[in-house]
Amino acid sequence: MANVYERIANSRQDFLHKLSRKLVDESQVIVVENLNVKGMVKNRLLSKSISDVGWGMFVNFMDYKLRQKSAKLIEVDRFFPSSKTCSCCGHIVDSLLLNIREWDCLNCKTHHDCDSNAALNIRNEGIRIIHFGGGNPVSAEGACLRPD
């Protein structure tokens, strides 16, 4: 049984190395949400799924590979309201339950898929961090950047 678990762990690690290499080779900057993986693993309903994904390991792999090529890993604070913020106009919804997967912005009437909207907001926040952190200007194709 231990051999099976070892093979699974090796397979996961190999996949994460290959995926992180592909992303790093294609990017100068990668923006991720700074998730509280240790806290999420404490939730008994989520712990196995989160551990199986190896999110922390994946971010570490990307980080050291980006450093090797003098590129950047930008971490957006986990409390940034990426899901509740309209990626087009910046309006923030007061409350959005986790089981809601799609929503319409009350301000600009844009329809959002929660995951796609959060990804856009995390990218836009990373661009904002780079811009105000003294980095080089970044162009974001097709982005509606959050107002300052």
Taking the domains of the chain in order of start, what are their residue ranges?
1-78, 80-148
Residue 34 or residue 26, greater confidence: 26
∠ CA 22-16-18, nearest 5°, is 35
Q: What percentage of residues in the chain have a pLDDT greater than 90?
A: 61
* Helix 2-25 with 55-68: angle, nearest 10 deg: 40
Label residue 52 by pLDDT band (50, 70, 90). Answer: low
Rounded mean pLDDT of the chain? 85
Residue 146 has pLDDT above 80, yes or no: no
Among the listed residues 61, 65, 63, 68, the one whose alpha carbon sits nearest the alpha carbon of residue 31 = 63
pTM of the shown model: 0.77
Torsion over CA of 69, 19, 32 and 47, rounded to 10 degrees? -140
Residue range 64-76: mean pLDDT, rounded: 95
Choice between 147 and 114, residue whose per-residue pLDDT is larger: 114
Question: Bigger pLDDT: 5 or 21?
Answer: 21
Q: Between vectors from CA 46 to CA 80 and to CA 32, what angle results, nearest 5°?
A: 35
| pLDDT, average across residues 95-123 | 93
Q: How far apart are CA 42 and CA 74, in angstroms?
A: 25
pLDDT on residue 136: 47
Q: Which residue type does 111 have?
A: H
